[in-house]
Amino acid sequence: MADVSPFWAAVAVVGVVYLIKWRTNPLNSIPTVGGSSLPFLSFFSAINFTLNSKRMIMEGYKKYYGSVFKVPLLDQWIVVVSGPKMIDELRRRPDDELSFSESVADSMQIRYTLGADTEDDPYHVDIIKEKLTRSVPAILPEVIDELTLAVPQHIPAKTDEWLEVPVMTAMQQIIARASNRVFVGLPVCRDQEYLDLSISFTIDIVKDKTIVKFFPEFMRSFIGRISSNVQSTLYKAIPHLKVAIDARREMMEKYGDDWTDKPNDLLQWIMDIARERDFSDEAIARRIMLVCFAAIHTSSNTVTHAIYHLAEHPECLQPLREEMEPILKEEGWTKNAMGKMWKLDSFLRESQRYNGIGLTSLGRKAMKDVTLHDGTFIPRGSFVVAAADATHHDDSVYATPDVFDPFRFSHMREQDGEGTKHQFVNTSVDYIAFGHGKHACPGRFFAANELKSLLAFIILNYDLKLGGDGERPRNIYWGLNVIPAPKGKVLFRKREASV
């Protein structure tokens, strides 16, 4: 027996610490959904939540609408708010009270995975918000040029038979290539090894932060350094970017700020700013990969959802084509044309409402003790999110919310007259798939144009339908993540496009 006693002593110590922690947990005053906040039991609740998150957040939303509840993630409690007043409050609170970047930094363990620099000086956000968004009309033709090459390569269907295509992997490849056309330009955007690295970088961050989070704070910097998938992918990516970086450096040395045919792309915008900061190949490549992390899986998941919906509702193909053909004949493939496609815009927005990239958005970390307008006390260090999916499936906000109604938003716009309100890019307290307020996704204007161009090209050049059992491939809900069926397949058949 003597050899087990140290074990039991350890268990007793852990138990006591756990109990004290629980008794003093300042979140105790916030109601829990889905099980128990009792010590030990909360671990099982966390597993239950991970598997049944969508249902459990909806349960909390209904029970505590307009207020707060908490749910257990595998590694921490998270406070969920709902209702327009609470969402408005999250968006308005300054960053020194409820911080967006600290919440991302913590959930991705940015300091230990990507390095502190990208967190302390997030200049890429301004580049996306200003340069990229303003350049959409100028760069969209290039994106479309890339799409017309990449789509047939990844959907090689013929006119006389149906071809089964794994949608998610095809969309990742197509989006990575089209996006990288404006991130790093030709010829790097066609370098398959580079593209695969830019896609897997997201997975690397998720892997690294999962490992790092197992360890206590004081060990994380060490663990981050020895087990870094991020760093190894970054080192593999640098040689692929090196020729372009060197060429730009040379021009910058020779001509300064401006020269004829200066590239209008993310790499150049980054280098223009990096020149005054860390101008190493590694720092430049890291920013590029960071933007790929924010842009590629978000966009490819969103369009994968839309394609599953399109295959489930092939009756939408005709009205969508009838809308886009005359517009494209008159305007060509331009941003203006995309702006006029209300039905297509509605289809994407409805698909995003129905699914979304996560069950929650507007994630914030409390930097100090905060008291919300209804008196709810949020202690320093807590994580707060808004119930996006539950808001988007609330029947007092959207009629028949569990029905996929492709032209829901274009009908709303017609009723409003000109109606700029219900476009894919517009955020509000009722539509928070891109967040809302000053940290709402700055890439959404680019994403909307890229995704509409991609869908328009697919809709005009292919017929599509569900295969197999005729059911839309099912989403995976894992904790707060919403993932379109990774192995879902759709049948494609080539058709002759008239524009």
Question: Residues annotated in the binding site, as ranges?
Answer: 441
Burial grade of 162 (CB within 10 A; 0-12, 13-18, 19 or more): middle
The Cα 65–Cα 47 span in angstroms is 24
61 vs 431, beta carbon nearer ligand HEM: 431
Nearest approach, Cβ of residue 401 and ligand NAG (Å): 20
DSSP state at residue 27: G
Q: b/e per residue, 360-395, with b = 16+ CB within 10 A?
A: bbbbbbbbeebebeeebebeeebbbbbbbbbbbbbe
**Binding at 351: pick from ligand HEM, ligand NAG, none (beta carbon under 5-8 Å per type):** none
Contact assessment for residue 151 and residue 457, using Cβ atoms and an 8 Å cutoff: yes
Q: Provide the token pair at 491.
A: 């049948």
Would you give the binding string for ligand NAG spanning residues 17-46, x where CB under 6 A is met? -----------------xx-----------
Instruction: Report if residue 169 touches ligand NAG, rule: CB under 6 A.
Output: no
Nearest approach, Cβ of residue 363 and ligand NAG (Å): 22
22 vs 279, beta carbon nearer ligand NAG: 22
**Binding at 59: pick from ligand HEM, ligand NAG, none (beta carbon under 5-8 Å per type):** ligand NAG
Q: Is 443 helix (H, G, I), strand (E, B) or coil?
A: coil
Would you give the binding string for ligand NAG spanning residues 366-405, x where CB under 6 A is met? ----------------------------------------
* DSSP string for residues in 103-141: HHHHHTTHHHHT-HHHHH--HHHHIIIIIIHHHHHHHHH
Nearest approach, Cβ of residue 242 and ligand HEM (Å): 23
48 vs 268, beta carbon nearer ligand NAG: 48
Binding residues for heme: 441
Nearest residue to 90 via CA among 78, 103, 100: 100
Nearest approach, Cβ of residue 347 and ligand NAG (Å): 17
Would you give the binding string for ligand NAG spanning residues 417-456, x where CB under 6 A is met? ---xx-x-xx------------------------------
**Binding at 299: pick from ligand NAG, ligand HEM, none (beta carbon under 5-8 Å per type):** ligand HEM
The Cα 309–Cα 289 span in angstroms is 30
* DSSP string for residues in 220-287: HHHHHHHT-HHHHHHHHHHHHHHHHHHHHHHHHHHHTT--TT---SHHHHHHHHHTTS--SHHHHHHH
Contacts of 487 (CB under 8 A, 6+ apart): 166, 168, 473
Instruction: Report if residue 48 touches ligand NAG, rule: CB under 6 A.
Output: yes
Interacting residues with ligand HEM (CB under 6 A): 100-101, 122, 125, 128, 132, 291, 294-295, 298-299, 302, 357, 361-363, 433-435, 439-444, 446-447
Instruction: Report if residue 132 touches ligand NAG, rule: CB under 6 A.
Output: no
Summarize as ranges the residues that interact with ligand NAG (CB under 6 A).
34-35, 48, 52, 56, 59, 420-421, 423, 425-426
